[in-house]
Amino acid sequence: MASESQQVTSLEKFSNFTEWFDQLLLNAKIADNRFPVKGFLVYLENGAYIMERIRRMLEEKLEKTGHKLTLFPLVTTQELFAKEAEHIKGFSREVFTIEQKSEKGAERILIVRPTSETIMYPMFKLWIRSHADLPLKVHQSVNVYRYETKATRPLYRVREIPWNEAHTAHESPSDAERQVREAIEIYSQVLRELGISFLLLKRPDFDKFAGAVYSIAFDSWNPDGRVNQVATVHNLGRNFSKAYDITFEKKDGSRGYVYQLCYGFGYSRVLAAIIAQHGDDRGLVLPPPVAPTQVVIIPILFKGQEKEVMDYANKIFNELKDKWRTVLDDREDVTPGEKFYYWEMMGVPVRIEVGPREVIEEKVTLTRRDTLERTQCNRLNVSREVERLMESLMQNLRERSERMLYQLIIDAKTMEEASKAIDNKCIARIAWCGSIECAEKIKENVGGEIRGERYDIAEHPDRPCIACGQTAKTIVYVARAY
């Protein structure tokens, strides 16, 4: 399943993922799951920092494409929440509520946002008057709250979800479709810059977002065989605009309902994907754009030569600190070996070692975190060499993750082959007739659920449906999911 080089450093990750992941969350200062309310996490210094960097990467791209930053309230009323029938049916069991008591003792129930359609769209009705107000494109980075009925898992399935959600309104279905493509490209760019590989899948109708015409999902691979849905894009058509009476005056003077999209990008799930796809048995392996520390300098001190080595290490630190997030680990009561172990656990992309030999030769020793390959360079070239290593590391993370994704996809022609693929922590690629009955049969007998068909490429079935033997309509991917 894994390549030879990956097996050397990731045996525990692939064989015992849950224990490996949970220990790393705490040891690498990502999150603490011991908060007394189930499903709620405390994000520690590295986890909070990485999510903040991801947020900046995403919001920069959203705002460059005309999305306006907003911040909407946390709550809505039961009346507004109930306006879109399919939406409330999809979320009714998952909502948190607040009891609001008046001075006279009367109670009113407020809905805490599971997502913000029912909070935003009454305002869209006020803001949108004519075609000149379109397209309307807004976004916000907030926490949403869902009372997950499945077992909670840190980062993957929590009840307080940090994410970004964008909502748009358009005057035509063609403009809405163009926006779908733009949203997909924005999310794809961020994930590529983080080295995360994924399947871009159009969800089957029975599994689309409540109230959507169709849904597109980004399913990233996970070492335990489950897929991790890190982002989604939903074409809402006019379902919500009709429910909330969001109309506009067209160029010909007539009135019409707007076409809408909503799309969400889960910060905690993307953080989970970074850890799961890139990490190894030594700890985190962080992409340079989000690493809290990008370069660590470790002095190797010998008695009688401490000052020369520290002076040399400080010179290198001063050369690098303005370009890279750099730490000089000058702790006196910790051995170099303990420092190596610690910073490898933290996933720092590049480690620099300097000792008496480096001082004499005016060189530095560099170690890249992904392969642990050690090289030396002249001190005058250290900044350029760090930059080269960062670029090479990032390319390697991206290529390694992509290779693993396609190694995990098994082309299954029978139920038995699909079941074996799922049992072996893989993703089954199968032919399907499109019926719900067969989807349920596949889920029951294979042990995974239909995640959808590829949206980015056309795949045509060359064999009958895996469940009923009748003509297949599409190729779909089956996996366990968080």
Q: CATH for 409-481?
A: 3.30.110.30
Residue 103 pLDDT level (bands cut at 50, 70, 90): low
Show the tokens assigned to 117.
């359609």
Mean of the per-residue pLDDT values for the chain?
Answer: 94
| Residue-by-residue DSSP string for 32-83 | E---SSTT--EE-HHHHHHHHHHHHHHHHHHHHTTPEE----SEEEHHHHTT
At 417 the pLDDT is 98
Please say if the pLDDT value at position 216 is more than 50. yes
Q: Which homologous superfamily does the CATH classification assign to the domain defined by 4-278?
A: Bira Bifunctional Protein; Domain 2 (3.30.930.10)
Dihedral class, residue 180 (left if φ above 0, else alpha if ψ from -120 to 50, else beta): alpha
Name the nearest CA neighbour of 228 among 265, 192, 173, 194: 265
- How many other CB atoms are there within 10 angstroms of residue 80's CB atom? 17
Name the nearest CA neighbour of 27 among 273, 224, 283: 283
For the chain, the domains span: 4-278, 295-389, 409-481
Asked which of 29-33, 93-97, 323-327, 470-474 is least confident by mean pLDDT, the reply is 93-97
* Share of residues in the chain with pLDDT > 90 (%): 89
Rounded Cα distance between 356 and 24, Å, is 34
Tell me the C-alpha to C-alpha distance, in Å, between residue 259 and each of 133, 171, 172, 200, 234.
Answer: 13, 6, 6, 23, 12
Rounded Cα distance between 218 and 233, Å, is 9
Cβ atoms of residues 53 and 270 within 8 Å? no
At 4 the pLDDT is 36
Amino acid of residue 303: K
Please say if the pLDDT value at position 208 is more than 80. yes
Cβ atoms of residues 218 and 183 within 8 Å? no
**Residue 169 bridge partners (DSSP):** 136, 260
At 5 the pLDDT is 38
How confident is the model over 20-73, as pLDDT tens digits?
999 999 999 999 999 999 999 999 999 999 999 999 999 999 999 999 999 999
Rounded Cα distance between 158 and 432, Å, is 32
Rounded Cα distance between 147 and 472, Å, is 37
Residue 7 pLDDT level (bands cut at 50, 70, 90): very low
How confident is the model over 146-159, as pLDDT tens digits?
987 677 899 999 99
Going by the DSSP 8-state scheme, the letter that residue 205 receives in this structure is G
Rounded Cα distance between 363 and 345, Å, is 26
Name the nearest CA neighbour of 445 among 410, 424, 414, 469: 414
Please say if the pLDDT value at position 106 is more than 70. no
At 8 the pLDDT is 38
Burial of 106: CB neighbours in 10 Å, binned 0-12, 13-18, 19+: exposed
At 167 the pLDDT is 98
Rounded Cα distance between 113 and 479, Å, is 29
Domain 295-389 has CATH 3.40.50.970: no
Name the nearest CA neighbour of 89 among 229, 235, 233, 239: 239
Tell me the C-alpha to C-alpha distance, in Å, between residue 78 and each of 35, 275, 315, 320.
Answer: 30, 39, 62, 55
pTM, two decimal places: 0.95
At 100 the pLDDT is 82
- Average pLDDT score over residue span 201-207: 97
